Structure 1
């Protein structure tokens, strides 16, 4: 299975839009930086037709070590989730 990288995205922009490789990479970096900054500031990010990056605050809870069965507290934390749009789900499933 292949992995799509930043360089692959920049190459695709280079081919489709005719921008230089450097400009294409700068564009990819700028988009990813904007998304990262918004998430770091506590904002959800919605990309229409693609999906939504959601931040969730999880409260403290009790977990269990599966090997020993000992209960341990799990500290509260913020987690990042991704919910794909219906358009993306349809495209991935081949509908």
Structure 2
């Protein structure tokens, strides 16, 4: 599902216009992004938690040449699904 399909689905479920739903979705994405940039987690009870974690620097290999290379440390976003989402996916 891409963003346009998500907007269509949410608009159909809520009875709102696609334009209003798109503005709401953009606002949600912006708010989550701003929180993650500040290294704050975003917890949506029943759905899941988005959080920023540090990935340590490590050694890697160039697959074409086999030469060793250094992969720098960086911040990454992780998502941990909530209990309700996990159960819904499992069909419980």
TM-score, L = length of structure 2: 0.81
2:17 corresponding residue in structure 1: 20
- For residue 57 of structure 2, the aligned residue among 56, 60, 72 is 60
2:6 corresponding residue in structure 1: 9
List per-residue Cα deviations over 1:9-33 (Å, max 9, x = no partner): 3323333333222112111111111
2:32 corresponding residue in structure 1: 35
Gaps of 5+ in 2: none
Count of residue pairs the alignment pairs up: 92
1:83 corresponding residue in structure 2: 80
Structure 1 moving runs of 4+ over 4 Å:
none
**CA spacing shift, 1:71–1:24, aligned 2, 3 Å:** same
TM-score, L = length of structure 1: 0.79
Gaps of 5+ in 1: none
